Structure 1
């Protein structure tokens, strides 16, 4: 059973009858409207801070994009296996995106007062540490695909109790969770180590960092240092049942919570817990929603019923399957995570998740490293220069293989190259790698649930490719359902904020959100053909193992 949670949350605001005028307490000061006027506006903003870009999007009550601004930023790779971000760049790009989208919004005749609230969705696991006395970062953020902590993971797996951790937190020991990233910093970064000993070390994922700084940071009268349960469930510090930090987990990692300031865990939707923006074009607007990006995409796809699944094709690829209000601990290489948590008397909803490290990153590799294309969106055009992959299989294990394999010692490996091989064949094999791994995750989810998924909702950059989505339908043998408006990750955070501030009252109000113009891809090859293609992929996965023979070799 899901235990009682220590945190409290307000119910979503209930809009009164058309008269008399109402003043919802969570709206910016000075706004007085009737319920009819309140519904007419229905605008919610969403910060979407991802691995390669930040964006700010303003939605109306039907889930349509009204205004948008996006900025890409540099990812840092100082050593092999290292992947970093500058925390202040993450913040500044978000602030610039807010400014850009608000300029567009005002040109349409709107004002700041038309925005009820904003939500935040973010890349998960990426670890930020800062000095709580100054509010300044102590080092670059360690991004979620970073694998510098491989040796540490091997040490941790040998510790007593390692094999029981997933029963508490739903995650296996790997390079992925924030806990191992923080522990690596404590062991290897002198500034972080000293801040920990002094008791001034603040830790958080990107959501915590942005909320902290948007509320004024260390200069605020009462600094706001919080996270929601979807993000906290990616740290390996939180108990899935209580939705609070677990002493057993903290002890395993050797974390003394009197020396590090962990963000307080709150529900994903709240009119008060996340504070307000203190400066800029949104000054005074409440931050009312927060969801890790993959949970946010499930919400944005309105996957509110057990059995519904979505796959987001971003830098990585993440498939979430709604399992309802009781967590299911996987026996087949999947993660268990919090899907969303509306707080109050509502139970949290959980999901099984399959994580693929390389999806859009594979396309970026072809573009940036090999010069195959000049823009990511040209990938389908290159693929269509050939009719198939020409027997090429590309195991894109740039960071090992994630779910459901969890092979740390794999490396990216191309099989089947001949003198006949062209760039188009390798491009097709790159897209197929993501589709094959998605098929493997779908198979694992079927084993966990004893239920075959018949339709997969999709979003993210690679879902723009009709070829990729048709390939996914062919390989998986199921329908692939793509919405016309594919900013579902940002929409999920907007929904969380809107539910807290009266834009929507109940989930039923969202039944028509983002439903128009969806395209369904259906399998065009036989199950026998799909099975044969997948068997070749599985053989390639086996052959890609064991390339990392010395866990420290790539750091020497």
Structure 2
């Protein structure tokens, strides 16, 4: 029998990628295409939903062609995606009624403030959806489109409007409109899904005026969602999870207390909390990790809304570097501590602060501050924000972190990883395959078609490098205290 393959579709905020894995879990090929972000107004972030699908389809075709893979040898396809990003479309024509509203978008901040003024609703949202009321999630994005886009209103009245996060949008298109579904992990990021009852929450739907008829069916993460046809071969779409839950799965965090941090466009820390939801007293989110083998696994999550995007800002906005990877070299040119702090609150601050009105700030500038100091401080901000989350998570769970499993593009930066270990005082483990998001989607799809079992995933995981803390405790405490002061001064900036 020849080699068999699993494909992972990894649709992120800034690019669509397709990753080809062989039957041992090894990466055989990657195709990637960047996607445009649209900024119509201050604080608004959109994408063209058609471009999202077409770019994903193009990379899927490319990876098969470039690696000379026979479609008959592809056993299954897994989907992982940027979460919360919201698409509404005409179910008869497949035409989106508006651009996709991206998770970073803060246009519904005013509405969220009005909703948060109701203490009873605040408690209800936390206890039933696991989330906090925030513009980050899909619910108020859906309401905004229904309230502000005439085409959406008209289709809604006819019952011809569909909603989906990016996974649902891709699935609907890949199956040529036959399947309108999502999985537990993505549904749990909408703020209208009850994570205890495992159904769309009628109270939240009524409160926001969202009809249940437009919502997708919710399935386990490992499930035969439908089929994609390539060269007359039918390939099962057999796995699906939001990007951060997929990374948790790809890092083999199957036991309660195991934790991973993904350094992508945002930075996302997840801890497996087992078969029962654990609710946070420190502003963390409770989310569904995945549905598998007839069971649902839960996680605590902390979100840094701007992480790798801050490195892109150095490259594209300030033009201080030509490539993201150059940030490591320039940061290492700074001798000693620079005392410059960057708070990358470009889209407000997520957990544990949850301040939609915070804005990006730079502190500690002096006459001798140069570009190297700004690059170094921006990198360090990712580590500081991750520590914010880890301290909250340790307090909520009562578990002291033994090691942090890391993945995502920015974890390839050795300066950042060593600083992360130092500021945490904890060992950092970088996986051999840092494409954990795609790997998790591939594993779910592979399990779905009987190629792998969870035991195989544990055996496959290898550590590429460990970073051990060498920073003195007194220095660690001083640096972090100054970081907290910088954060406090960046908060409540927007009027």
Q: TM-score range by the shorter chain?
A: over 0.9
The alignment status of 1:532 with 2:472, answered yes or no, reads: no
Whole-Å separation in 2 of the counterparts to 1:41 and 1:171: 43
Q: SS of the residue aligned with 1:41?
A: coil
Of 459, 465, 468, the match for 1:522: 468
**Which SS does the other structure have where 1:371 is aligned?**
coil
Quick check: which has more Rg, 1 or 2?
Answer: 1
Residue in structure 2 matched with residue 149 of structure 1 by the alignment: 108
Question: Quick one: distance in 2 between partners of 1:503 and 1:316?
Answer: 32
- Does residue 170 (structure 1) correspond to residue 130 (structure 2)? The answer is yes
Counterpart Cα distance in 1 of 2:17 and 2:182: 20
Within 2, Cα distance between the matches of 1:390 and 1:67?
41
What are the equivalent positions in structure 2 for 1:119-134 lying under 5 Å apart? 119-134=78-93
1:333 aligns with 2:333: no
* Counterpart mapping for 1:56-205 below 5 A: 56-106=18-68, 110-159=69-118, 161-205=121-165
After superposition, residues 103-502 of structure 1 pair within 5 angstroms as: 103-106=65-68, 110-159=69-118, 161-217=121-177, 223-257=178-212, 260-270=213-223, 272=224, 274-278=225-229, 280-281=230-231, 283-344=233-294, 347-388=295-336, 390-502=338-450
Give the drift of 1:242. Answer: 2.1
Please list the CA deviations of residues 115-140 of structure 1 after superposition, one character each: whole Å capped at 9, or x if unmatched.
Answer: 11010000000000000111111110
Map Cα deviations across residues 436-495 of structure 1 (whole Å, 9 max, x no partner). 111011000111111111101111111010000001001111111001221110010011
Q: Distance in 1 between matches of 2:122 and 2:205?
A: 12
Residue 254 (structure 1) shift: 2.5
Q: Which structure 1 residue ranges, 5 or more long, are not aligned?
A: 1-36, 218-222, 550-556
Whether the 8 Å CA contact 1:62–1:514 is kept in 2: the answer is: no
In the alignment, the residues of structure 1 paired with residue 275 and residue 385 of structure 2 have an alpha-carbon distance, to the nearest angstrom, of 27
Q: State the Cα RMSD in Å.
A: 1.3
Residues of 1 paired with 2:488 and 2:107: CA distance?
24
TM-score of the superposed pair, with normalisation by structure 1: 0.87
Higher relative contact order (CA 8 A, sep 6+): 1
SS at match of 2:315: helix
1:176 positional shift: 0.6
Distance in 2, matches of 1:542 and 1:204, equals 36
CA contact (8 A) 2:106 2:356 kept: no
C-alpha distance in structure 2 between counterparts of 1:287 and 1:100, whole Å: 18
What is the Cα deviation at residue 343 of structure 1? 4.3
Alignment CA distance shift 1:256-1:98 (3 Å): closer
Shift in Å, 1:509: 2.0
* 2:493 paired residue number: 547
Contact 2:98/2:145 (<8 A) preserved: no
Structure 2, gaps ≥5 residues long: none
Query: Cα 1:281–1:524, aligned 2, differ >3 Å: closer, same or farther?
Result: farther
Q: 2-side partners of 1:427 and 1:338: how far apart?
A: 35
Deviations 1:84-116 (A, max 9, x none): 11011111111110111001221xxx4111111
Specify whether residues 281 and 415 from structure 1 end up closer, same or farther in structure 2 by C-alpha distance, changes over 3 A only: farther
Q: What is the total number of aligned residue pairs between the two structures?
A: 494
